[in-house]
Structure 1
Amino acid sequence: MITKEATEAAPTPVSVPTEAEHRPRKGKYRAWDDAPRWQIYLPLSIYLVFTLIPFYWILLFALRPAGSTSLVPWPITFEHFEKVWTERSFATYFQNSLLVGVATLLMTTLVALAGGYALARFDFKVKRAFMLALLCSQFVPGALLLVPLFEIFAELQMINSLTSVIIAETVFQLPLSMILISNFIKNVPYTLEEAAWVDGCNRFTAFRIVVLPLLRPGLIAVGSFAFVHSWNHFLFALMFLNNQSKQTIPVGLNTLMSADSVDLGALAAGGIIAAVPVVLVFAFIQKWLITGFSAGAVKG
């Protein structure tokens, strides 16, 4: 006779998993690590080929001699680069674009830093309406701003001046930059500033010593975005700059194309010259750029 005490003392039976339970799941539930390698590398290889072909085509036209139809740039020549740099005034275009890009970067970062701090740390009555206006301004294309900006700059006698392009680029970049920096500042604990105030710092000193060093990824992200956009922007430079000595690289590339013919070698060389600074910028700041955009894209 089995007593109650013997039943409670008996060990609990352990279920042995069947072969079906050991078998890995298939279909959409299958782990990515169990997939064959060709399923991973084949799509990536196809994407890489389609991405690199245009770059190779540009290098091909820029490095092979004029009139050549070879699919390999041999013998390599730099005559197209010398032509656009000297005869087509690309040295001047490069300097103008660099000046516009750096000035836009500095002005956008400084103004967005001040505005973003106000949005992140202060509460005022029209704050929600102001944020809504900033967001709605992102839906306005830059082409709609050309006529009013041209009239304003004409009244101020700033047409054919790089200052007009810098101001227009800064105004166009400020809404998004201010939103990103304000969200990034929200991720910085407010108690850090309060601790600095207790130690005798005023608001500006506490921001400069405590908060500003923590904003480096966000500032790099905003500044690089402003620089690249102003470097590549075509409309403002075309509309506000009439003198060839004041034009930027995008407008200079447009001068290489006419209604009758296109100098493909010079155009390809000019495109490489225009792309090199942007590639170098992203190559050096990609770590901070990804961190800044990811931190500024979410609410803290």
Structure 2
Amino acid sequence: MTAALAEQGTPARVPAQDPPAPPATPRRRPRRERAFDDVPRWQIYLPLALYLLFTLVPFYWMLLFAVRPAGSTSLVPWPVTTAHFEKVWNERSFGIFFQNSMIVGVATLVATTTVALAGGYALARFDFRIKNAFMLALLCSQFIPGALMLVPLFEIFRNLQMINSLGSVVIAETVFQLPLSMILISGFIKNVPVSLEEAAWVDGCSRMRAFRAVVLPLLRPGLVAVGSFAFVHSWNHFLFALMFLSEQDKQTIPVGLNTLIGADSVDLGALAAGGVIAAVPVVIVFAFIQKWLITGFSAGAVKG
């Protein structure tokens, strides 16, 4: 019968086809992005250029005084001299100051990061009765100026016979920076899913081993942020070193810079050279860890 219909000229059945898909709607960009398209470029770059100029001019001025000869008034550092650096490094004992500052900074970094890691893990993973009150106390402690801690800390270190010891400065700096460091580490640990640790526990890992194998590698940006902040703060801090260190061979760079300012005159070249020496480690630290530092601070501030 089918053959007969075909011979009579019956048209063959055409298979059904899907209707054409509607054209894709272009994704609309957020209103904030569209707003920047209407702003002239000079209104963006001009304020940024002024801010950059305002930031870099003091550094250029310090570098200019450090490398140009004494008595010169040129705005261009030529001819370049290293006499000021040799003077502060050899005659003003900045080599010893640099070594002491490095010891204090590295020791404070290690102590602050270790204690903050333990405390931050406890705040992030355990619930206890006074947890909220403890977190509030940590936050309120940030409003206490370091100057109020000088007298009690001095009495404590004097009774422990730790005056004129770099250990006293390390302990003071660690205590002063622990609250903020614990809050940052706690916020970063909360972003690590607990299921990762639970999976390690199921596989037979203890809590400590699961922490070292699973959680600790994910905390690298947070540890870099907390450690760099502790190092830079202890490197630049002047008050504790001035109060607890009276012998010249135990002083740090901020106290050494203060000794370059006399009662009647100031050696601007030597002071600028000392400032450059003090700024170089901080610039190097931020240059190498800038990416991790921003990631660590932003991740630690998401949850609290």
TM-score clears 0.5 = yes
1:194 aligns with 2:198: yes
Residues 1:218 and 1:30: Cα distance change in structure 2 (over 3 Å): closer
Q: CA deviation at 1:228?
A: 0.2
Displacement of 1:31 after TM fit?
2.2
2:243 paired residue number: 239
1:112-148 Cα deviation digits (max 9, x unpaired) = 0000000000011111111111011000000000000
- Is 1:55 paired with 2:59? yes
Give the match for residue 104 of structure 2. Answer: 100
2:259 pairs with 1:255: yes
Gapped runs of 5+ residues in structure 2? 1-30
Q: 2:168 aligns with which of 161, 164, 176?
A: 164
Q: Give the equivalent residue in structure 2 for 1:126.
A: 130
What does 1:111-122 align with in structure 2 at a 5 Å threshold? 111-122=115-126
Residues 175-190 of structure 1: pairs in structure 2 closer than 5 A: 175-190=179-194
How big is the shift at 1:35? 2.3
Match of 2:144 in 1: 140
Give the whole-Å Cα distance in 2 for the aligned partners of 1:181 and 1:29. Answer: 33
SS of the residue corresponding to residue 303 of structure 2 reads coil
- Give the drift of 1:33: 2.0
Structure 2 Cα separation of the partners of residues 237 and 51 of structure 1:
28
Quick one: distance in 1 between partners of 2:43 and 2:141? 43
- Distance in 2 of aligned mates of 1:291 and 1:42: 28
Instruction: Look up the match of 1:9.
Output: none
Per-residue deviation, 1:36: 2.1
Unmatched tracts of structure 1, length 5 or more: 1-24
Q: For 1:30 and 1:199, how far apart are their aligned partners in 2?
A: 51
SS across alignment from 1:31: helix
Specify the structure having the higher radius of gyration (Cα): 2
Instruction: Tell me the alpha carbon deviations over residues 222-258 of structure 1, each in whole angstroms, 9 at most, x when there is no partner.
Output: 0000000000000000000010000000000000001
Normalising by the residue count of structure 2, what TM-score does the alignment of the two structures yield?
0.88
Supply the distance in 2 between the matched residues of 1:124 and 1:36 (Cα, whole angstroms).
55
Instruction: State percent identity of aligned pairs.
Output: 83
Distance 2:49 2:125 in 1: 47
Aligned to 2:25: none
Q: What is the CA RMSD across the aligned residues, in angstroms?
A: 1.4
Distance in 2 (CA, whole Å) between partners of 1:29 and 1:225 is: 33
* Equivalent position of 1:298 in the other structure: 302
Q: Which runs of 4+ in 1 moved over 3 A?
A: none
Other structure's SS at 1:211 match:
helix
1:76 corresponds to? 80
For 2:107 and 2:246, how far apart are their aligned partners in 1?
A: 20
TM-score by length of 1: 0.89
What is the identity, as a one-letter code, of the residue corresponding to 2:148?
L
Residues 217 and 259 of structure 1: CA distance in aligned 2, closer, same or farther (over 3 Å): same
Q: Match for residue 226 of structure 1?
A: 230
What is the match of residue 288 of structure 1? 292
1:259: Cα distance to partner? 1.2
Measure the CA separation in 1 of the matches of 2:218 and 2:33: 41
Aligned amino acid, residue 73 of structure 1 = P
Between the aligned partners of 2:71 and 2:213, the Cα distance in structure 1 is: 60
1:51 Cα shift? Answer: 1.4
Amino acid at match of 2:192: V
> Once the 2 structures are TM-superposed, how far is the Cα of residue 34 of structure 1 from its aligned partner?
3.0
